[in-house]
Amino acid sequence: MPSAAPRTDRRSGLLPTVRRWFDTQAAVQPAPPEGAGAARIDWLRAVPFALLHLACLGVIWVGVSWTAVIVAVALYAVRMFAITAFYHRYFSHRTFQASRPVQFIFAVIGAASVQRGPLWWAAHHRHHHRHADQPQDPHSPREQGFWRSHMGWFLTREAFATDFSRIPDLARFPELRWLDRFDTVVPVVLAAGLYGLGAVLERTAPGLHTSGAQLLVWGFFISTVVLFHATVTINSLAHRFGSRRYETRDDSRNNLWLALLTFGEGWHNNHHFFPGTARQGFRWWEIDLTWYGLRVLAALRVVHGLKPIPAWVLAKAER
């Protein structure tokens, strides 16, 4: 009998954690106080993230085809744009305007990136800007080191919850709250759709040399993992490597290679000096693919009110 209680305790802790894999508000507990394990990685809660990476090894069995690679690259590009243009420049910084249907459509595409929901993303990013490279910054390489800033921070107990007090302008939309709560729904639908598409192509277009399992591995697992690590280089590498045009209180840097990889986010020192513009490449030669995409959407009247770079910001540039 004495051994039954520990097993019950373990089950009572395991089941809510598993439920939170699918419903982030299931069995919500108060945030643990500082120094009580809040900053430790919750390994059980992080299991799906680890499995996402391990699933990439499926390429050993499914092989490769041009069809699978093209699908993977296309999904990387579409989802990267949704993250940079909407999760970051729209939801986090409100640097342009979009209708409610448009904001939801791109929120769904962003959610397919497996980078949590738009409210969680924006809440944490706004907190980062308030405390950039200070002790309160959850992903500062200066304070936490490379691996913590790159990926360890969001696997902690204190980082799992969405702080709605940081995003009152977004929290009023019930569809965004639903998407934030059930943030695994869209990725699961995408994964199932890719498998189904591959299975259909295997039967109807054998010349494409693909299959359901191959499109699942390349189009979802590999593309998603590469997308994730490209995105978070802005937290880790863009605060370590590159040039500084502006003197800011943080360590942000401009980095061409990261800008190419992340569709313009690598012009990070520009962004930290003035985050209130939809454009992050401040010079004509600073390639900013997200800005170009937003210009196209504005021309098509899908979005509007793109906030420009003020003249005083350009005049203050040191280099």
Rounded Cα distance between 228 and 211, Å, is: 24
Per the DSSP assignment, residues forming a β-bridge with 41 are 156
36 Cα distance to chain centroid: 27
The one-letter amino acid at 116: R
The pLDDT > 90 percentage for the chain reads: 76
Predicted confidence (pLDDT) at residue 1 exceeds the cutoff of 90 = no
- Say which residues have a Cβ less than 8 Å from residue 73's Cβ, sequence separation at least 6: 223
pLDDT of 247 higher than 90:
yes
CB atoms within 10 A of CB 155: 17
How large is the average pLDDT for residues 46-61?
A: 95
53-68: b or e for each residue (b if 16 or more CB lie within 10 Å)? eebbeeeeebeebebb
Taking only the tens place, the pLDDT of each residue in 259-279 is 999 999 999 999 999 999 999
Residue 34 phi/psi, 5-degree rounding, is: -60, 135
Determine the distance from the C-alpha atom of residue 189 to the mean position of all C-alpha atoms in its chain, rounded to a whole number.
18
- When computed from its CA atoms, the radius of gyration of the chain, rounded to whole angstroms, is 21
Q: Whole-number mean pLDDT of the chain?
A: 91
Average pLDDT over residues 26-37: 54
Query: Between residues 2 and 42, which one has the greater pLDDT?
Result: 42
Query: Residue 30: how many CB atoms within 10 A of its CB?
Result: 6
Least confident window among 19-28, 112-121, 155-164: 19-28
Judge whether residue 225 has pLDDT over 70.
yes
**pLDDT value for 9:** 46
Instruction: Average the pLDDT over 19-41 and give the result.
Output: 64
Going by C-alpha positions, the residue among 152, 301, 319, 158 that lies closest to residue 232 is 152
Q: If pLDDT is split at 50, 70 and 90, which confidence band does 237 have? A: very high
Indicate the pLDDT class of residue 31, thresholds 50, 70 and 90.
low
Q: Is residue 220 over pLDDT 60?
A: yes
- Does the structure show a pLDDT above 90 at 45? no
Residue 252: half-sphere exposure toward Cβ, Cα within 13 Å: 24
pLDDT > 80? residue 287: yes
Q: Which two tokens stand for residue 30?
A: 């108060």
User: Can you tell me the mean pLDDT for 143-162?
Assistant: 87
pTM of the predicted protein model: 0.91
Domain regions of the chain by residue span: 41-243
Q: Check whether 88 has a pLDDT greater than 90.
A: yes
Structure tokens at 129: 């800007």
Q: Is the pLDDT of residue 36 over 60?
A: no
Q: pLDDT class for 29, splitting at 50, 70, 90?
A: low
Percent of the chain with pLDDT over 70: 90
Please report the pLDDT score of residue 255 as a whole number. Answer: 98
